[in-house]
Amino acid sequence: MSDHPAWQIEGYDHLWMPYCQMKTAPLPLAVRSTSGVRLHLADGRTVIDSLASWWSACHGYNHPAVVDAIEQQLSLMPHVMFGGINHEPALRLARRLAAILPGDLNRVFFADSGSVALEVAMKMAIGFWRNHGQPGRTRFLAFHHAYHGDTTGAMSLCDPNRSMHASFGDGLLKQLHLDLPRDDVALAQLDQTLGHHRDELAAVVIEPLVQGAGGMRFHSPKVLRAIAETCRRNDVLLIADELATGFCRTGTMFAVQGTENQNLDKNNPATSGSAVIPDIICVGKALTAGMLPMAATIASDRVFDAFFSDDPSDALMHGPTFMANPLACAAANASLDLFENEPRLVQVREIERQLSDQLSVCRQIDRVVDVRVKGAIGVLQVDRLDHVDRLRQAFLDRGIWLRPFGDCIYTTPSLVISPDDLSQITTAMVEVTRQWASWN
Ligand SMILES: *Cc1c(COP(=O)(O)O)cnc(C)c1O
């Protein structure tokens, strides 16, 4: 172990890295500072971050407006417990989230990570049915290729076979898992499954429009709408996990709004017009512009009302230590100001067009099985991802930080990336993937 270069970095022998076989993993990238879309490395090099730190640095790194807001809050009150106390940054953020979310998603519960936001959503759904006299409704239906987080409840929602959590097996809650329906036959099967298991099902959980870490797979607004209708028909709650898709990533503020004005069928009110309105929605990642750890679970009035009674035992029993951290709230409020005042949706549309134009040649590369683009997400799906470390190094040699994953070589850049910087990413994706296809 001691001859591995990583172990010669002082302190590394005390770190346990994420998603990582510590024995064989390559040297991690030593980053000293960040700015705009760039990482400045300890060895003096600068690289473009094609991932915006796992989808989160939506306005680029160190955005001065967000930094200022955090600094101002820092001098007033970095943190205070949220039990029995509240503060203006949280009140303001809750008001604003309720205002920009569709429908009656009005009740904001702050969490400290996306996984915890999913746990809270699950507890809300189970409590909803318990408080309606149906305590047996404690299971969830999720989809193959889903990724909903790393805590044990959230893990049980992930793809049971393909996900990195498969090895936990019997240690996880047993949920129902189906292929994400893409046609009427599959939708009818979902309908049947929901009907059959209604007495034990609390909710269906979905990443709307784009499944992220489970395979970067897309589905159409029409499919999303049909799934929502099927839940409503069967009186099963719908939880939308927008950890990755929220805040303009897919081309609308939230992906559930990507079903608006799609001209699906203008004559049919059930399939045209407005956003899909889930009963519970989870947001995070870009919520604080990627600067501080915070997520939120937002419930509809109907869900909240089930907990609102004179009986203490009807309450939602959850409360993270760092719930509604004022610094994170200040960052999120500053981030929402930027979404209001700067043309992020236009920028996403331009990124989408550029990714589509510049990645399409990859269809001709042997071993690339699909090229797909949605909003500020560009994906090359390959037959089988091998030589991962060498691949990552080849991107670094071209000045790009990119982390191939699953069967995908993908980019989720900052929404403020310039066309030139984005071209550097796409050029590297084309050239490196072409080379990679000839390795072996
Ligand atoms: C990242 C992510 C999570 C988990 O969020 P953490 O903050 O990492 O716990 C859950 N669901 C989706 C769709 C995500 O992309």
Q: What would the pLDDT profile of 63-99 be if each residue is shown by its tens digit?
A: 999 999 999 999 999 999 999 999 999 999 999 999 9
CA distance to 87, 230, 294, per residue, from 178 (Å): 42, 14, 30
CA distance 17 to 398: 25
Q: What is the mean pLDDT of the chain?
A: 94
pTM of model > 0.85:
yes
Q: Give every CB contact of residue 157 below 8 A, 6+ residues apart in sequence.
A: 118, 122, 140, 142, 146, 148, 149, 175, 205
185 CA from centroid of ligand 1 (Å): 30
Q: What is the pLDDT of residue 6?
A: 58
CA distance to 27, 59, 149, 366, 369, per residue, from 388 (Å): 13, 29, 23, 17, 17
Name the burial class of residue 149, with classes exposed (0-12), middle (13-18) and buried (19+) by CB atoms within 10 angstroms of its CB: buried
Residue 174: active-site member: no
- In the predicted structure, residue 244 carries a pLDDT above the cut 90: yes
Mean predicted confidence (pLDDT) in 109-138:
98
Nearest residue by C-alpha to atom 15 in ligand 1:
244
Of all atoms in ligand 1, which is nearest to the CA of residue 118?
10
Q: Which of these ranges, 169-178, 206-215, 405-414, has the smallest mean pLDDT?
A: 169-178
- Contact status, residue 375 vs residue 413, Cβ threshold 8 Å: no
Q: Which amino acids are annotated as binding site for pyridoxal 5'-phosphate, given as ranges?
A: 114-115, 241, 320-321
pLDDT in tens, 340-359: 999 999 999 999 999 999 99
CA distance 97 to 185: 37
Residue 19: active-site member: yes
For residue 67, the number of C-alpha atoms closer than 13 Å in the C-beta half-sphere is 9
Q: What is the pLDDT of residue 263?
A: 52
Mean predicted confidence (pLDDT) in 262-267:
50
Of all atoms in ligand 1, which is nearest to the CA of residue 116?
9
Q: Say which of 61, 112, 147, 421 is annotated catalytic.
A: 147
- In the predicted structure, residue 440 carries a pLDDT above the cut 80: no
Q: Which of these ranges, 7-16, 73-82, 106-115, 117-126, has the smallest mean pLDDT?
A: 7-16
81 CA from centroid of ligand 1 (Å): 24
Which tokens sit at 166? 């498969």
Q: Say which of 49, 112, 191, 241 is annotated catalytic.
A: 241
Number of neighbouring beta carbons within 10 Å of residue 150: 17
More confident residue, 60 or 262: 60
Q: Which of these ranges, 151-165, 211-225, 346-360, has the smallest mean pLDDT?
A: 151-165
Q: What is the pLDDT of residue 434?
A: 98
Q: Which amino acids are annotated as binding site for substrate, given as ranges?
A: 54, 147, 285, 319, 403
Which tokens sit at 204? 């269906």
Q: Is the CB of 241 under 6 A from ligand 1?
A: yes
- Contact status, residue 416 vs residue 386, Cβ threshold 8 Å: no
